[in-house]
A = this chain, B = another copy of it.
Amino acid sequence: MDRLLTLIVDDHPIVVEGLKTLLKNEQNLKIVASFHNGTDLLAYIETNRVDLVLLDVTLPDINGMDLCQIIKKTSLSTIILILSNHTERSIIMQTIQNGASGYLLKNSSLDELRKCISESVQGNICYSREVMEIISRPGRNELRSTPQLTRREKQILSLLAQGKTSQVIADELFLSPLTVDTHRRNLLQKFEVKNVAELITTAHQQKIL
C-alpha cells in the first residue's frame, strides 16, 4: 500500500510545525502540503489526490465544519480528521455529521493521533479519550434547556445583572416595584435557581448574558 498523502490545515504555524515533526517518522503517511486557511486547501484538493486531511475547526476564512462538507463533496475518498481545541459537544457532533472520521483535541498524545489515523483509514470513526467523554455525558448545563423568556423578563434580567434593585428598575421602566418583583420571581422559577446570583451565573453559562 502506498503511503497516505496527507494535508495539514491549521492557522497556527506552531501547530503545523509540531504536526510535521511528530509525523515525520511515520512510515505509512507522507505530508504533501500544509495550509493555513480553507481556500488554499480547496484549491489544492481540486487538482491533487489527497488521502487524509488533518483539519482545524478555527480558520480565518471558512470554518472546519463547513469545510468537511465541501471536501467530501469534492473528493469522497478523502478522510478527514479534526484537530481542534473546541470542547463543545455541538461542534464535535456537527463535524462528524458533515463527514469527518474523527475528532481529536490538540492536547491529545501522539499515540492517540496514530491510533485515530489508523482507525479512520479502515473506515471507522475515532475520538480521543477526552472527546469520548464529552460525547457520552449529555453535558451538565445542556441538560436543563434554556427557558423561554418574555421581552420584559429579558429586559429585567439584564438590569438585575447590572446590580440594580427592584426599586431602581421600577423607576427606570415606570413600573411598580412590586411588578418588578413578580418578574424577578418568575425569572428565578424559570431558571430553577434560588436567587439572583445563581440566576446570573446560569444565564452566563447559557450565553444569555
Contacts and interface: CB of A to CB of B under 8 A. Distances in A.
Interface in A155-209: 160-163, 165, 193-201, 204, 209
A88 interface: no
A10 to B, nearest CB: 9
Nearest to A163: B198
Contacts of A198: 161-163
A36 B198 CA distance: 34
Given A197-B197, A200-B201, A204-B204, A15 B163 contact: no
A72 interface: no
A20 B110 CA distance: 15
A17 interface: yes
Contacts of A160: 197
Contact of A106 (B14, B108, B165, B197): B14
A108 B197 contact: no
Contacts of A14: 15, 18-19, 22, 83, 106, 108
A12 B106 contact: yes
Contacts of A195: 163, 165
Nearest to A200: B200
A161 B201 contact: yes
Contacts of A15: 12, 14-15, 18, 106
